[in-house]
Structure 1
């Protein structure tokens, strides 16, 4: 057995692997779909997504093989990532002096054929492989090689999406912590005008970073994934087994879910935009505007939408219509299958002193807005959880979603210096109660 040469950029390669925070994570369907599809296309019993650290090759996904890792000194993939070939192939390892006495050849899983595509970063540094394995000699067609290369690029895109999401979460936590510290110092040393200025600068910087990540760093790899899915469908779909076709369709659905998540993330970030254009407007007028936008959905689900009691509210119309849009679409989504959705919106002017438990300003008048539905409802103990970003009470098989819609609602209410609460019981619908200060009593956040 001949060992592969150590990469001259080994430290950099190991740091790159660690940056994905993926080693020793649980299996994920998106990766497993890719390995099964690779095995189907190449007609091999085994397919792996491997990452190589200092002492082992670890399998993020292993199709047709029980083991989750093997010693690095036995790894065929080391030769794949240290070579110059676009695809590393040995058609019969028993006749290859590099592998003929390798324990993976002489023993289980009795590797004979191996083909591996190096997984490379944008800088060209290889850190793992997408590989297919057989226990008999095999020759790949040009079409199979091209398909394997397309699938390997999708693996890289999944890893990059994972890294970008983790970096976004870390940046958000860091900025939030920094903002709190800075806000405390500012309150001690400056007047109210300076406080607003600093908050605005922090928010704009946060938004610029957030929007760049969402609009480019997340959406560009996603567009490539969808392009590659289309290419595989065009060139290999008829050659796949029924199971392979099913997996390809599942990958396409996963990409669609990711696209919806990115769009919701951008909507979530957009609620931070500073806009002082507060307007006194009829609640019913905003409801009718949203009803017009949702006309097709309301008609399709035979939804009844009523505004029995109108009142004037002081809001940023664009943001508040987004709030109503999210509540209405949620009401439609979470209606029992045999029922027609029924949504009721009403408003009235109240004094903050009437609601001591909410700690509203006693000397301030508020618009009290109720949005109720006849949906499936939820246990009241989850009241605070439903407004947290990415928190969901149902899985995708029951009700699809990203867990961002109600977080957007809560953030819009917060930017209006308001409060929101919800009352619900399982099977009895939900009632969202929103308090927004009237007229010039709102201060921009």
Structure 2
């Protein structure tokens, strides 16, 4: 294939990516053609694009026409030459145009043509910005430069239009994925809740059928299992129902008893190792999204338990408040985080090389999730740590005005 054919193939491929041919009228382009005609003092101005077989006009000032056959196009000569514009001062004296139907027409034959190329970012010529007169004419150097500036603005509009279309495609794709995730959440909700319900039911059957064979300690264990199962079922329901709804975090507010929430979370964690968790002496009521706060604290407390190599785990939870924010801090006596890695721990999938208490490597999801959820609640997260000594994660929650809750 010759260089000229390769060039034309690339030009046409680029033109298709803009999806501009046969697109609806747009005021922004019409304003540019009107401006071009005014600046150059010409009766006609247009923006055109040339595909395989036709010249199509995105905007036309002074005439009402949408397309012409490619063989009748003036602009096909503009895009094929080396200069960035083509000027024909009198078509009657130019052999390329003397037989053109727009030159031969009896009423208002085209006598003057000026076309400026429209380049994409890779210097493919997509089309032209042109002015036309019905008498011989010429443009001054300053007006030619003005046409160049206007051609740049045409391409800026095209690039913006292309970007917006890309964003619309992404939005549509995300909406579809979101729909699929909601369906998945509903399925997961069913798949998790049913086994949990079966566990609770089995515990009740065991207590009823074998109560004479189970001592008081065994009954307490069964009660504990049932309570944990019910709490886990309720937590799962809250989390999945939150992600199944479209309302944002600010529309899902309720009064949360902070200490009671902590106690429920500690029960859910089912800690089976020496551990001391110190919660605030005074309970605080917070107007917030309970599901998000629960997930934040579960992640932080879970990390404090997993990444701890001490014989006894100690976790301190504190809450302070001012007129605008709550400040919640979770501090543990665990492994700590090396100073040179602390700035990376909120990056998704970033993990330290050292394994957790059980010899497992982390996923790098916990702290990024915490940061994301805190931001949804209008707050910020910060971390302090000293390797082999402690880690302290603090986050703020923006206070919300109580609208009758």
Q: TM-score scaled by structure 2?
A: 0.47
The structure with higher relative contact order (CA 8 Å, sep 6+) is 1
Structure number with greater Rg is: 2
